[in-house]
Chain A
Amino acid sequence: MQGNKEYFQEHNLMWMNVLRRFIVICLAVSLSLTTVGCGGGKQASSGWSSDRTATPTVLSDGKYPVQQAQYNDANGEYTLFLLNSTPPTFATTKLQMARLTDDEIKQGQKTYLRVANSQPTLYLTEDFKIQYVHNVAETRTNPVNGQQETVVVRQESGFWSPFAGALAGQAIGSLLFRPQYYVPPAYQSGGFMTGYGGYGSSYDQAVSSYRSRYNEPPVAVRNQAIFRRTGSIRNFDNSTTQRANTGSRSTGSGFGSNTLNSSGRYNSVQRQSGRSFGSGRSPSMRRSYGGFGSRRR
């Protein structure tokens, strides 16, 4: 009797689960259909713009001939201009590359992008040039808050051929035809670069292979992080045995790196009670919900 009841409950639960999933899928499908329906026309009319959000980062599986490729070392992003694809641009930071074999080139194969399991791989001819956008950055002190900031002063443009030159005869020759991640070599002014700065079967491996070669991280990795520091480590050299005058506050130091993009909005982030967590005796960062001015507590 008991077992029967349990079985019944379990059965009931399973049905609930199935029903729930079905509803979720139904909603998702109808939503995506309406989104595509509304968004399609707009995308076709706007053509391609430099706006990052307009460039899709997901392509359906298939093979796309590549007209032009661009690499931006500010964020390590590849932008590809594709044929047979709407919209014609595609942007990604994680792009595998491989050289076309000589046989394929003889058959008239041109540079193309293959997407399999939503993993893009770029197959390049030996002489294919990727346009390289180099961002000249300077560290400046922001006059408003006194923080050190990295500012892009100007952009230079060059070319990068990952597989050009004598590279094919080198030790990794057979590896060239296998898709791998590559990091461009250090930028040279005048701007024609051949070969690679680092390579590996994952992007992180490529970065660490670059690091062991040049003893510093690639520009794209360095440009992404914003480094801040405060206190006595800001001027470390002259911090001898001198003692600081302390009053209501003690001394202290801080450092931190942030690779998250800023939203660029001016208002401070509002915490929503549903999403935040913590020990929360009193929220240490008080935020007002609309309205401003001094207030008596």
Chain B
Amino acid sequence: MRDTFNRMMGRTRYVVCRLFLHLSGSEVAPILGVLNSAARSAMDADGELDVLGEQLVKICESLLQLDEHWLSASNEGDIFWDEGEAGDYVNQLFTDSAQRYLSEPDFSSTNTVNEPLSIPITRNVVVMITVAYEGEVPELEADLSNIKVLKEGLKALINLHYKQKYRAIQVHFSPARLGDELTNDQLLQNFPELIPL
């Protein structure tokens, strides 16, 4: 009822949503390269939303290509009619996503002498995508915990960039880079909401 009224008054509808995607397998580690290069481009552009949108498209496309490695996923979101509330929620989600990994890694006591030449390859990668957009996208505003719906959701994320509807974009991922590992225990402990696909 309230939604209908707000829409009638011509107010802007803001949607904030977050998507968790857990990839598993020995071939998933290369996606860390895509994610890190996206992070670097975003930094070079000082976080310009247009550039972030382009990088998000690249990330979504790589994720779609790795669909046989998707193991579990989860999503959540909210609809707002007030820009301030939506902005606060986006900030809140950033902090919440960031506390699921070591956002201030401790490099202090590593011994570089006895370092093995090989590096461990992680079998788990979690990607967290948070976006805020204007308007209504039914593909994203639903329960995305099955493969078919999730694919549609990722495609909708790509399309939103070209429709220029984004107001905020965040990408988090764990582990940070090739050579770091995300174990099954860490996964269970820090991402309890993941649902097997």
Contacts and interface: CB of A to CB of B under 8 A. Distances in A.
**In which size bucket is the chain B interface?**
35 or more
A225 B92 CA distance: 16
B189 A252 contact: no
Interface stretch (A95-103, A172-180, A264-272): A264-272
A255 interface: yes
A263 B76 contact: no
B49 A263 contact: no
A257 B169 CA distance: 6
Contacts of A233: 36, 39-40, 43, 176
Interface string B65-107: 0000000011111111011111111111111111011111111
Contacts, number: 254
A254 B94 contact: yes
B167 interface: yes
**SS class of chain A's interface: helix, strand, loop or mixed?**
loop
Contacts of B118: none
B158 interface: no
B24 to A, nearest CB: 14
A275 interface: yes
A221 B171 CA distance: 21
Contacts of A252: 98, 100-103, 172-176
B88 A269 contact: yes
Interface residues of A, number: 58
B161 to A, nearest CB: 13
Given A230-B103, A244-B110, A276-B79, 7 more contacts: A253-B39, A254-B172, A261-B84, A276-B76, A277-B78, A279-B76, A285-B93
Interface of A: 24, 28, 145, 204, 217, 221-222, 225-233, 236, 239, 241-246, 248-265, 268-269, 271-272, 274-285
Interface of B: 2-3, 8, 14, 17, 35-36, 39-40, 42-43, 46-50, 52, 73-80, 82-98, 100-110, 112, 115, 128, 130, 132, 141-145, 164, 167-177, 179-183, 186, 189-190, 192-193, 195
